[in-house]
Amino acid sequence: RYLPGGGVHGWNLKRKLVSKGANYLAQAVLAPKASDMTGSFRLYKKNVLEAVMKLVISKGYTFQMEIMYRAQIMGHSIGEVPITFVDRVYGESKLGGAEIVGYLKGLWFLLWL
């Protein structure tokens, strides 16, 4: 979403700001090698995912970040391709105050890995 050629479609300003803010915080705190720590469209090599999943503790939004971050600190390479994320047609986002607090707690946890 955040590489040249990628993007989002159908998001309101609030959702864009929350997503960009969450990624900015992750970049500042964790210095990941990925441009989008909150997106969930990912592929992992089977052996990498098996190794990382043995260690993962997080739940919720932080779960995705922990997988990526653990793979990085274990020395695995990370590649990216731009995508355009199209907002859901049915249902609503689960993002609310509790999820934001959970994200911040999770980011604090990942900082100390």
- For 9, phi then psi, to 5°, come to -135, 130
pLDDT per 10-residue tile (average), the chain, 113 residues: 90 89 93 87 94 93 91 94 85 77 92 91
Please report the pLDDT score of residue 61 as a whole number. Answer: 76
Residue pair 46/72 in contact by the 8 Å Cβ criterion: no
pTM: 0.85
Helix ranges, 8-60 (H): 13-30, 46-53
Interatomic CA distance for residues 102 and 113, integer angstroms: 17
